[in-house]
A and B are shown apart, each in its own frame.
Chain A
Amino acid sequence: ETGVTQSPTHLIKTRGQQVTLRCSSQSGHNTVSWYQQALGQGPQFIFQYYREEENGRGNFPPRFSGLQFPNYSSELNVNALELDDSALYLCASSLGGTANTEAFFGQGTRLTVV
């Protein structure tokens, strides 16, 4: 069984640039959720993709967007990067959309915006 993998692990970008983060879901899982974790805080829900459709969104601006592919892997895109976007971005894989099944996380991508 393949676990959740994220790439890259670390990234440094300049304010105003765009970034794409990637996530491969766990084998057999069809749902990917993205979370942003600022230093010293709990993760905050960005959005969820289920069967290639956005299936819920947290309180994040439209410059945060995503995709899910037929193999259920996913991308998180952030445009017009701001300094406050510096955070750990976590991807979670689960089964069944909003069925509230157990979620498993990747190792995260640490984004620094300078």
Chain B
Amino acid sequence: GIQVEQSPPDLILQEGANSTLRCNFSDSVNNLQWFHQNPWGQLINLFYIPSGTKQNGRLSATTVATERYSLLYISSSQTTDSGVYFCADSRGKLIFGQGTELSVKP
């Protein structure tokens, strides 16, 4: 089955910094979702982005399905951005990466 690799596994930022999280796939991307897992465990939908670029406030995402990757950009990071970010590809079921744990320091 498809393998999903996220990088970096951990990231520490100062408040206000920008960051890029990456998701690589072993096969072409089908229907990609990005999630933020809050400290209580809930997965919050960030983007549903099979291809192209979308923006929502300080966050944006780009998926290049044919080149098997997706990027999540976080600009002007805030402490509330801390948590684990997951990408997942949908193939009848969601196949998740191992996540990127982001810590934003004040």
Contacts and interface: CB of A to CB of B under 8 A. Distances in A.
Given A41-B98, A42-B97, A103-B33, A110 B45 contact: no
B94 A56 contact: no
B93 A45 contact: yes
A97 B48 CA distance: 17
Contacts of B42: 105-108
Interface residues on A, range: 20 to 34
Interface in B2-52: 4, 30-31, 33, 35, 40-43, 45, 48
Nearest to B30: A100
Contacts of B30: 100
A103 B48 CA distance: 9
Interface residues of B, number: 23
Contacts of A101: 31, 90
A107 B86 contact: no
B91 interface: yes
Contacts of A88: 41
Interface in A57-114: 58, 88, 90, 92, 97-98, 100-108, 110
A42 B98 contact: yes
B92 interface: yes
A48 B43 contact: no
Contacts of B31: 100-102
13 contacts: A37-B41, A42-B96, A42-B97, A43-B96, A45-B95, A55-B92, A90-B41, A98-B92, A101-B31, A102-B45, A105-B35, A106-B42, A108-B40
Interface of A: 33, 35, 37, 41-45, 48, 55-56, 58, 88, 90, 92, 97-98, 100-108, 110
Interface of B: 4, 30-31, 33, 35, 40-43, 45, 48, 86, 88, 90-99
